[in-house]
Amino acid sequence: MILVEVSKDRFKYDIHSLVKAFYPAEDVLVLTKEEIEAKKENGSLEKEIFKIDMIFDDENKNVEMIILENGEKLQEGKAQFTEDNDLSDNSTNGTKASKSTPKNALKQLMYSQLSQKVGHELPWGALTGIRPTRIPMQMLYEGKNSDEIREYMKDTFFVSDEKIDLSLGIAKREKAILDSIDHEDGYSIYIGIPFCPTTCLYCSFTSFPIVTWAKRVGDYLTCLEKEIDFVAEAFGNKKVNSVYIGGGTPTTLEPDQIRRLIGYLGNKIDISNISEFTVESGRPDSITRDKLRAMKECGVSRISVNPQTMSDETLKRIGRQHSVAQFVDAYNMAREEGFDNINMDIILGLPGEELSDVEHTMREIEKLRPNDLTVHSLSVKRGSRLAEHIRNEGYFLESDTGRMMEIAAAGARSMGLMPYYMYRQKNISGNLENTGYAEEGKAGIYNILMMEEVQSIVALGAGTVSKRVYGDGRIERCDNVKDVTLYMNDISQMIERKRKMYL
């Protein structure tokens, strides 16, 4: 464990994220002196590998960092700040285009000390947030040019040239798409179907096996209809920009259930002019021709059919319970039924996969030519089912996910797909990112609206989170419970929470 003692209860999240980025396999604790004392008293503080002291001096506007091992000073450094307007954890100044805020000074100091200690740099430098495009995006809206944005990202956060190019390119593409849709007065709808054919080993979503829920899917749809009634009432004077049905696996619904759900939505809310209607049809083992026809008839414009990998062995290893051949059949069937915007998801760093497996996956995908490709880096959470399985079965995890990412990016480029959205998540393999690539005109609009948080997204179904974006950029969230039975029993309460937030 790495212990960080902070002299003030401040920036704990940023400090934690940055230490964790350098030491992904270690537990990191960021505590005040009082919190450390309390833990020592109740005996819950393990011995640390090393300790970092962060000392904030607001009077003299500086922050000091000392790295200690067994009480001995190993390294130390100090950074000066000139502004004092982001002294709380709630400030959004990770994105403020100023080098000298306390938060940015702190990050620069920590980055230089930690990179010196471990002896290497990080591709994203001191940027720890989950939306690295935020900075270039904000600066583009401020009228800054590419050179100014590059300089700021490099000097302030030490981001590598490659990642600056990636995030700046994406921000420009996102901005062009956002400028082309009237999103400011609009909103989007997310509907969660929390059922799957089986549970994948790496799953971190709300998902329950459809076999155990098949008899109650009708009741679940009734609850979604109640939520749709609320949306019609609350957003009656607003325009829907996009609808996204995700999960889980929405194609676990039968064709008549798909018609019932989308039909109800269309009767209550005008979705005839939306920019995009996506249904995740992720698991090939859930796709049938009748379901594809039902979706097409109901106006679905974009679907996602996900191989994750083109190796049968790996699919078995991760509990997908479908073969590569089944995936190819499902994909071809979707093309035959007229879907002209199909996304594929792949995951890099799956247990037991080497660089050659990723090369193989990309070669096979290139033959199929999807319109979008979303490249995820595997996220292994300590104590998760996946982490335990990897340990028990002795599967290795390829450490060079950076190289895997390059192979996937080159494959996407060779299919004419350009990166258009990106996010990072905690514990992500190689501290990298998830990136969506798309053909011109086929980028997932919902993904951009959701990622850039430029409009409200009302989310229906178990385990979903609704978001209200106010005119001044403030964001409020409210969630539906994950447990399907609780969700159905408490549906009035779920709606009431939304009513409080939106009305």
Q: At 93, phi and psi to the nearest 5?
A: -75, 0
283 makes contact with ligand SF4 (CB under 6 A) = yes
CA-nearest of 213, 292, 227 to 264 is 227
List the interface residues with ligand SF4, window 225-264 (CB under 6 A).
Answer: 247-249
Is there a contact between 178 and 454 (Cβ–Cβ < 8 Å)? yes
Binding-residue total with ligand SF4 (CB under 6 A): 11
203 makes contact with ligand SF4 (CB under 6 A) = yes
**List 136, 282, 284, 430, residue binding ligand SF4 (CB under 6 A):** 282
488 makes contact with ligand SF4 (CB under 6 A) = no
Q: Please, what is the minimum distance in Å from the beta carbon of residue 325 to ligand SF4? A: 18
Q: Please, what is the minimum distance in Å from the beta carbon of residue 308 to ligand SF4? A: 8
Output 91 or 198, the one with its CB closest to ligand SF4.
198
349 makes contact with ligand SF4 (CB under 6 A) = no
Output 282 or 430, the one with its CB closest to ligand SF4.
282
CA-nearest of 467, 127, 446, 472 to 135 is 127
Using alpha carbons only, how large is the chain's radius of gyration in Å?
Answer: 24
Dist. CA 303–CA 199, nearest whole Å: 20
Q: Please, what is the minimum distance in Å from the beta carbon of residue 302 to ligand SF4? A: 17
461 makes contact with ligand SF4 (CB under 6 A) = no
148 beta partners: none
Output 181 or 386, the one with its CB closest to ligand SF4.
386
200 makes contact with ligand SF4 (CB under 6 A) = yes
Q: Please, what is the minimum distance in Å from the beta carbon of residue 197 to ligand SF4? A: 8
Dist. CA 389–CA 348, nearest whole Å: 17
Q: Please, what is the minimum distance in Å from the beta carbon of residue 171 to ligand SF4? A: 28
Q: Count how many Cα atoms sit within 13 Å of the Cα of residue 229 in the half-sphere of its side chain.
A: 11
Output 203 or 380, the one with its CB closest to ligand SF4.
203
Output 144 or 385, the one with its CB closest to ligand SF4.
385
**List 54, 135, 139, 196, residue binding ligand SF4 (CB under 6 A):** 196
Question: Cβ–Cβ contacts within 10 Å for residue 212, how many?
Answer: 10
Torsion over CA of 104, 109, 115 and 116, rounded to 10 degrees? 160
Asked if residue 248 has a cis previous peptide bond (ω within 30° of 0), the answer is: yes
Q: Please, what is the minimum distance in Å from the beta carbon of residue 428 to ligand SF4? A: 15
Output 207 or 374, the one with its CB closest to ligand SF4.
207
463 makes contact with ligand SF4 (CB under 6 A) = no
Dist. CA 347–CA 307, nearest whole Å: 9
Q: Please, what is the minimum distance in Å from the beta carbon of residue 453 to ligand SF4? A: 23
Judged by DSSP in three states, 324 sits in helix
The one-letter amino acid at 422: M
Judged by DSSP in three states, 59 sits in coil
Output 91 or 199, the one with its CB closest to ligand SF4.
199
Output 207 or 242, the one with its CB closest to ligand SF4.
207
207 makes contact with ligand SF4 (CB under 6 A) = yes
213 makes contact with ligand SF4 (CB under 6 A) = no
Q: Please, what is the minimum distance in Å from the beta carbon of residue 463 to ligand SF4? A: 10
Output 9 or 483, the one with its CB closest to ligand SF4.
483
Dist. CA 215–CA 207, nearest whole Å: 16
464 makes contact with ligand SF4 (CB under 6 A) = no
Asked if residue 282 has a cis previous peptide bond (ω within 30° of 0), the answer is: no
Which region among 123-131, 193-201, 407-415, 416-424 touches ligand SF4 (by CB under 6 A)? Answer: 193-201
Question: Cβ–Cβ contacts within 10 Å for residue 166, how many?
Answer: 23
Q: Give the Å distances, CA to CA, from 309 to 226, 305, 317, 410, 423.
A: 38, 12, 11, 16, 20
Output 19 or 279, the one with its CB closest to ligand SF4.
279
Q: Which two tokens stand for residue 218?
A: 């009708």
Dist. CA 259–CA 253, nearest whole Å: 10
Output 241 or 361, the one with its CB closest to ligand SF4.
361
CA-nearest of 397, 409, 319 to 359 is 409
Q: Give residues in contact with ligand SF4 (CB under 6 A).
A: 196, 199-200, 203, 205, 207, 247-249, 282-283
